[in-house]
Amino acid sequence: MNWPYEWQIGWRYTRAGRAGRRNGFISFISAISVVGIALGVAALIIVLSVMNGFQKEVRDRMLAVIAHVEIFSRDGAALPDWQGTAAKARENKAVVGAAPFIAAQSLIARGDDMRGAVVRGILPAAEATVTDIGAKLRDTTFAKLQPGAWKIVLGIELARQLGVREGDSVTIVAPGGQVTPAGVVPRLKTFTVAGTFEAGHYEYDSGLALIHVDDAARLYRLDGPSGVQLRLRDAQAAREVGYQLAMTMGPGLVVRDWTRTNRNWYDAVQIEKRMMFIILTLIVAVAAFNLVSTLVMTVTDKQADIAILRTLGASPRSVMGIFVVQGAASGIIGTAVGVGLGLLVAFNIDVIVPAIEHALGVSFLPGSIYLISRMPSDPQMGDIVPIGVISLLLAFVATLYPSWRASRVNPAEALRYE
């Protein structure tokens, strides 16, 4: 017996079961297995796509105010030649923008209110080449940041916490005070609020303030910028490009990409995604191994047919192939339907979720609580292909034992009572 006959008989067994009551039950169980695989695959694709969507939303808002890569002095001192450092970094074709910066933790006070924040000194014209906020506010709010003007731009949440608006004054308490005969006196400087920015990321909206880099150098007693920010063509390649730059920069410089700067968030997202993949894959595995019971019942029901095939010259290997084809067909159909259903929902989740919310009269992501008021989705080929491959492999593995058992059927014993 050759493979075309094995495919034909295996596919016929997959479709069979409408004539008899017993066969109908087996066909029903087989259909349940296919539906289980399809729903498991679809759920895995939908959940990972939504997780990718949330990750992309948060990442884009984060990268609106921070650079993809930072290069700074190992000892925190000013760079002797930041233009030369920027030019050397630009030799890497992945780098498309560079700007100097100074960053320091400080206290910002307004009356009795005081908040800790990162004060970043920027060069407004160059900042537009490395961050979205810089490009958006270059000709408006950032244009007010002039050397010696002592003006500051606050995150919108930070401004709200301090109760200030444009034109009000705030005081920055710099780390490291001045030593006087009376003791250590903190270094204070009054700034005028030039405006606010809103990135949509609470950590930066509530904990970041921007001033001119020359003012920052005078405030923190530096001879110039302490580092250079870089923008890349692809933010996802930041870790790889960071390694490349670290190999070419001088020994006294530190290169840190955005995944290192926000390591806790980045690692947490990756771990959550892996765990969710494992958990939902178990659902697919359960559905796939339902094929075992289906095929075992099919083998028991088809013992007479198997015996006849054996007497006609079919080898045990051919009999095993028939039932492998039957189980694999169910796995292929279930996986194909699941991938199609999952992609259909993932690409239309912005329509489906609002429709469900409208029908139930609820809001899954209230705008007053969450920064993201819509359900994002970002299906990625790197997730979908492994899901399909794993589902097919699980279905194939599930067919091996029942198929082997079918190949061991003794024709004489099977036909004794027929």
How far apart are the C-alpha atoms of 167 and 249, rounded to whole Å? Answer: 42
Cα R_g (the chain), whole angstroms = 32
Task: Tell which phi-psi region holds residue 170, choosing left (phi > 0), alpha (psi between -120 and 50) or beta.
Answer: beta
* The pLDDT value given to residue 252: 80
Q: Which of 150, 139, 248 is nearest to 193 (CA)?
A: 150
- Report the range of poorest mean pLDDT among 172-186, 208-222, 271-285, 327-341: 172-186
Q: Can you name the residues that pair with 255 across neighbouring β-strands? A: 71
- Let me know: does 240 contact 93? Beta carbons within 8 Å: no
Across 17-31, 92-106, 107-121, least confident range: 17-31
pLDDT in tens, 353-394: 888 888 888 877 765 556 666 788 889 898 899 999 998 888
What six digits make up the tokens of 273?
A: 């995604």
pLDDT value at residue 175: 82
DSSP string, 8-28: HHHHHHHH--SSSHHHHHHHH
Alpha helices in 213-315 (DSSP H): 213-219, 238-248, 258-261, 263-301, 303-311
Q: Which of 3-7, 95-99, 148-152, 162-166 has the lowest mean pLDDT?
A: 3-7
Which pLDDT tens digit goes with each residue over 212-234? Answer: 999 999 998 888 898 999 999 99
Residue 24 confidence (pLDDT): 52
Report DSSP letters for 95-163, one per residue.
EEEEEEEEEEEEEEEETTEEEEEEEEEE-HHHHTTT-HHHHHHTTTTGGG--TTS-EEEEEHHHHHHHT
Q: What does each C-alpha distance from 177 to 59, 106, 224 come to in angstroms? A: 36, 12, 20
Q: 21 pLDDT exceeds 50?
A: no
